[in-house]
Each structure stands twice: as C-alpha cells, then as structure tokens.
Amino acid sequence: MQAVRLRVIPEEGGVLHFSRLPVIPGRPVEVIILSDELSSECRQSLAALQNDASYAFLTDPAEDLYTLDDLKERYD
C-alpha cells in the first residue's frame, strides 16, 4: 500500500475534488480525513466520555501502573 498525503481546503458543504491521483481506476482506495478542528458530534462524544462514571477509576492515583521512578531515562 502506498500513502499519498494531500492538504486541501474543502469547498462549501465539505466537498473535496481530486484529480490525477496515482491510483488505478476502478480499484478501491482508503481515504482518511484528519482535521485540526473537532466536529460538534466529536466534542459531544468526548465530553460524554470525560464525565462517564465507568472511566472514573482513571483519575485514581492508585490505578497508575507506572511512576517516574520506573523510567530508565528521563527526557526533560
């Protein structure tokens, strides 16, 4: 699999146009969309997870598996 990275500015409605890409016509390609901004749905999901009681144990210091003493080398 070959990776091709493109930086584009979407048009109105989030439309993206591509041409002359190094792909084989009729063959599937994988597209990954990375954005600097979070969508409102993503923000809502993250907020729900941050307040979810099932993840509360993560704020308990006793649940930490490692401490700074476990580091072989420290990069400051």
- Give me the residue spans of the domains in the chain: 38-64
Q: What number is the average pLDDT over the span 23-51? A: 83
In this structure, are residues 5 and 22 in contact, taking their beta carbons and an 8 Å threshold? no
For the stretch 49-75, pLDDT in tens is: 888 888 888 788 888 888 888 888 878
Q: Is the pTM of the predicted complex or chain greater than 0.85?
A: no
Rg from Cα positions in the chain: 21
For the stretch 1-11, pLDDT in tens is: 778 888 888 88
